[in-house]
Amino acid sequence: DDVLVTDPPFILTGGLPLGGYYQVNGDVLVYLDPSIYGAGTLTVYYIYTNTNTCSGFATQPLQINP
C-alpha cells in the first residue's frame, strides 16, 4: 500500500522465512519513517537465511506520496 510522507513511522513486517531483516538504501530498519525518505518510490529488501543456511532476499516497492 502507498503511504504519505506525513504518516508516522511504522514497523516493517510480513517477511518470510522468519528471522530475516529489512533494508532500505543500505540501512537496516525495523521502523520505516516516511518523512526521512520523502516522496518517491523506495525498494524495501527482506534479507534472510533459511533453515538450510541458504540466503536470499525479496524486494517490495513502497510508494511514498507527498
CA distances from 63 to 31, 37, 38, 52, 53 (A): 16, 11, 10, 33, 32
Report pTM: 0.89
Q: Determine which helix (DSSP H) or strand (DSSP E) holds 37, and give its type and residue range.
A: helix 34-37
**Region of residue 37 (phi > 0: left; psi between -120 and 50: alpha; otherwise: beta):** alpha
Q: Please report, in tens digits, the pLDDT of each residue of the chain (66 residues total).
A: 899 999 999 999 999 999 999 999 999 999 999 999 999 999 999 999 988 999 999 999 999 999
